[in-house]
């Protein structure tokens, strides 16, 4: 089954609701937020390799959100992978925060609440594997979701290359061959998760350490007193160790904390329940302690002043 959807030819007024409807229909009630943008461009190309669903997504910045309430009881459960060709995919699920750019992939579970931020133009390969197909292979998914699996070396790299090449070659495959290719992808993802799951290597220990840092930050992000010194103390490590842990991430730890706070502010500025609160009050409640700094950071991130952004609600 192949399908293609594009906002080409749609007006600005038509493109946004069309994209939101497509994401909800194709991905089982998934909610979409466009960071307040009123102009949007997006393209989706969807194919199947047996039970594995593969989608090429090209789109302007946006974020997708699956809440517990948004999940429909009849929806099949998938393990979902995002493998960027271009742009950043940042996943949040069950206290884990993970991001990927070209050359790596992140994985999460559609049976649980999650959020994926794509804060810049994105070209992503999205791969959906039946959750049960991995469980039947004897792997426990607990603790492995909302994680960056890798892609630079080892079996994770083999899996990434297989996912990309399978998607590109699907149009030329007979149905029986495509089904077998899908089974091979499930096997490779299973092996990649095994490698991630409990080997105690330096890489997995580093990822676990970063997950602990992210969980601490997520729990205290609204506290304006949260500083690198405080995080280091909570992690029982030096500041240098913190900086080294995030050396291979697209954002420094301080920049990531600011981004989280800006995302909180964006959500609350859009929320009708906060209409009576001032912008400064919302900013301070999301961890900012200086209104001028907040305004500059917000405009740099969204392209508009907080008051302009709020007026779009």
> Are β-strands 42-49 and 52-59 bridged in parallel, bridged antiparallel, or unpaired?
antiparallel
User: Are 141 and 237 part of one and the same domain?
Assistant: no
Tell me which of 152, 170, 197 is where a domain ends. 197
173 band by pLDDT with thresholds 50, 70 and 90: very high
User: Are 161 and 293 part of one and the same domain?
Assistant: no
| 268-298 residue pLDDT tens | 898 877 888 999 999 999 999 999 999 999 9
User: Are 14 and 123 part of one and the same domain?
Assistant: yes
Question: Residue 153's domain is classified under what CATH number?
Answer: 2.60.120.280
User: Are 69 and 160 part of one and the same domain?
Assistant: yes
3-state class (DSSP) for residue 289: coil
Tell me which of 146, 168, 197 is where a domain ends. 197
- Domain that residue 291 falls in: 203-311
Residue 155 has pLDDT above 90, yes or no: yes
Looking at the 3D structure of the chain, how many domains does it have? 2
Residue 116: per-residue pLDDT? 94
| 179-215 residue pLDDT tens | 999 999 999 999 999 888 765 455 556 766 887 788 7
217 band by pLDDT with thresholds 50, 70 and 90: confident
Residue 200: per-residue pLDDT? 44
| 223-261 residue pLDDT tens | 999 999 999 998 889 999 988 888 888 888 999 899 989
Residue 46 has pLDDT above 60, yes or no: yes
Averaged over 54-74, what is the pLDDT?
83
Question: Residue 304's domain is classified under what CATH number?
Answer: 1.10.10.60
% of the chain at pLDDT higher than 70: 94
User: Are 52 and 179 part of one and the same domain?
Assistant: yes
Residue 130: per-residue pLDDT? 96
Residue 110: per-residue pLDDT? 93
Average pLDDT score, the chain: 89
């Amino acid at each position: 089954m192949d399908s293609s959807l594009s906002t080409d030819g749609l007006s600005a007024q038509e493109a946004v609701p069309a994209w939101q409807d497509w994401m909800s229909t194709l991905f089982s009630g998934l909610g979409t937020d466009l960071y307040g943008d009123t102009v949007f461009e997006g393209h989706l190309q969807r194919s199947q390799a047996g039970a594995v669903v593969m989608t090429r997504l090209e789109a302007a910045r946006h974020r997708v959100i699956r809440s517990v309430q948004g999940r429909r009881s009849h929806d099949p459960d998938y393990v979902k992978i995002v493998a960027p060709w271009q742009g950043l995919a940042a996943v949040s699920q069950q206290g884990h925060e993970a991001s990927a750019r070209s050359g790596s992939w992140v994985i999460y579970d559609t049976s649980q609440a999650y959020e994926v931020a794509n804060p810049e133009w994105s070209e992503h390969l999205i791969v959906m594997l039946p959750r049960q197909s991995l469980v039947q292979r004897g792997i426990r998914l607990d603790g492995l979701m909302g994680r960056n699996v890798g892609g630079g070396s080892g079996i994770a790299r083999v899996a990434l290359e297989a996912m990309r090449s399978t998607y590109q070659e699907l149009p030329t495959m007979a149905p029986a061959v495509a089904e077998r290719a899908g089974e091979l992808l499930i096997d490779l993802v299973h092996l990649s998760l095994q490698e991630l799951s409990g080997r105690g290597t330096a890489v997995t220990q580093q990822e676990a350490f970063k997950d602990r840092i992210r969980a601490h930050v997520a729990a205290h992000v609204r506290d304006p007193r949260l500083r690198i010194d405080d995080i280091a103390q909570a992690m029982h490590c030096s500041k240098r160790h913190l900086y080294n842990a995030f050396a291979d991430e697209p954002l420094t730890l301080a920049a990531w904390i600011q981004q989280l706070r800006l995302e909180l502010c964006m959500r609350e500025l859009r929320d009708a329940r906060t209409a009576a609160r001032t912008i400064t009050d919302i900013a301070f409640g999301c961890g900012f302690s200086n209104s001028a700094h907040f305004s500059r950071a917000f405009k740099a991130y969204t392209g508009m002043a907080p008051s302009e952004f709020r007026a779009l609600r």
